[in-house]
Amino acid sequence: MLRMYEPRLAARRYVLTRTAVRFNSTAPKPTLWHKVKHEAQHYWAGTKLLGLEIKISSKLVLKSASGYELTRREYRQLQRTTADVLRLFPFAMFVLVPFAELLLPVALKLFPNLLPSTYESKKDKEKNLLKLRDTRTKVSEILRTQAKPIKLPSTITEEQRADFKDFYSKLRSTGSDSIPKEQLLRVAKLFKDDLILDNVSRGILIAIAKYINLRPFGTDQILRYRIRHKMLKIKQDDKLIEYEGVKSLSPLELQVACASRGLRIADISLDRQRELLQFWLNMRLREKIPSTLLILANAYTYGAPAEYSQYDALKSVLNSLPEEFYHEQELHVDEDRATFEQRMNVIKEQEHLIKSENVQEQDHKVIVKDKLSLDDEDKPHGSK
């Protein structure tokens, strides 16, 4: 008898389940008052955090003024608070000017970094991180697919450095597999950060700027200045991390340090992140590899398979630098024995780059005097 009612009971259970699911899916949306209340609580919490940061940083300023040296964590805390306080000045205009607060959502849409970091929600942080990850993947794909190999000049002389000549001869003829790591590092040391930034194309400059989370606006000279300024901060941070040790970094500090250098942090364990950061420090501070080459190498490996190593990426970067950069570096390697034709080619190429920069500056109102030097950071004190 019960078996006769089992289909009906099953049908009723199905209807009740569907009704419950439909009831949950049509849950009432939060009202306007709840949204306003939630935003007010969020900004009030951000204001309290900012006040706490200012209180802590004030003590750090007094400590530094008293002659005590700040640790890396203290220095970054002071740096972050200073940036947040400076952001308050444009934000205060929306409070002081009547009805200007109505334009605040529009301003935040156009300038996401207008508010201090304490007002940034977890959702905004994840959104920015996902956007940066997507940008780096696209930049990595562009650099790997649009790389153009160097064309070695036919007038290469016997007096040029054997290592430099042999490296590019192997790279052009037999490929990168025949090049040992030791020779790769020796040749990479010959390159300079300033020489790379001064001779790469605008496309590479934009790719580097996007990869280190800079907005690629302005002329080539402005882009180079902003990239140099960011790279100088990274170089100073390298020395602090090396002094205090990678193991002293908290998980969040480790992720921030890796992300600022273009190292992958998604779906990678903390131990692997420490290995990547330690590899960066070894290449930069011990092997003296230019940080610009390492940034480009990180871009090459960002979307590449796991078996594609940093050394393979470094070979690809050296193989894809433009021809005028090779000429300039060739002259830099053996300047005393360079021929007249080589010097003439380099001067003409530099003249062409100067003219293109002047054309860009004519229609641009903001002019930047780019006198920063990344290579001066690597020179020992007292050297000229």
Per-block mean pLDDT, blocks of 10 residues, the chain (384 long): 45 46 54 73 77 84 83 81 80 71 70 68 70 69 54 38 73 71 81 78 82 82 87 90 90 88 85 92 90 85 71 79 52 49 57 63 55 60 46
pLDDT of residue 279: 92
Specify the length of the chain in residues: 384
Residues 328 and 296 reside in one and the same domain: yes
Q: Does 277 reside within a domain?
A: yes
Residues 59 and 157 reside in one and the same domain: no
Residues 167 and 272 reside in one and the same domain: yes
Residues 71 and 187 reside in one and the same domain: no
Task: Return the axis-axis angle of helices 72-96 and 220-244, rounded to nearest 10°.
Answer: 140
Range of the structural domain that residue 324 is part of: 128-376
Q: Are 184 and 314 in contact (CB under 8 A)?
A: yes
Instruction: Report the b/e string of 219-254 with b at 16+ CB within 10 A.
Output: bbbbbbbbbbebbbebbebbeebeeeebeebeeeeb
Q: Which two tokens stand for residue 17?
A: 């389940």
DSSP per-residue letters across 325-353:
HHHHHHHHHTSTT--HHHHHHHHHHHHHH
pLDDT of residue 146: 54
**End-of-domain residue from the set 79, 99, 118:** 118
Smallest CA-to-CA distance from 225 within 384, 136, 357, 381 is with: 357
**End-of-domain residue from the set 73, 95, 118:** 118
Domain count, the chain: 2
Name the one residue in this structure whose structure tokens are 């334009």. Answer: 103
Q: Does 53 reside within a domain?
A: yes
**End-of-domain residue from the set 118, 149, 179:** 118
> For the chain, give me the number of helices (H) and strands (E)?
16, 0
pLDDT of residue 152: 36
pLDDT of residue 159: 39
Residues 99 and 156 reside in one and the same domain: no
Q: Does 244 reside within a domain?
A: yes
DSSP per-residue letters across 6-31:
HHHHHHHHHHHHHHHHHHHHTPPPPP
> From the centroid of its chain, how far is CA 82?
21
Q: Does 25 reside within a domain?
A: no
Residues 176 and 139 reside in one and the same domain: yes
Residues 231 and 311 reside in one and the same domain: yes
Residues 138 and 76 reside in one and the same domain: no
pTM passes above 0.75: no
Residues 187 and 260 reside in one and the same domain: yes
Q: Are 328 and 344 in contact (CB under 8 A)?
A: no
pLDDT of residue 280: 92
Residues 147 and 99 reside in one and the same domain: no
Q: Does 313 reside within a domain?
A: yes
Q: Does 7 reside within a domain?
A: no
Smallest CA-to-CA distance from 171 within 53, 41, 276, 318 is with: 318
Q: Are 132 and 99 in contact (CB under 8 A)?
A: no
Q: Does 164 reside within a domain?
A: yes
Q: Are 214 and 231 in contact (CB under 8 A)?
A: no
Q: Does 28 reside within a domain?
A: no
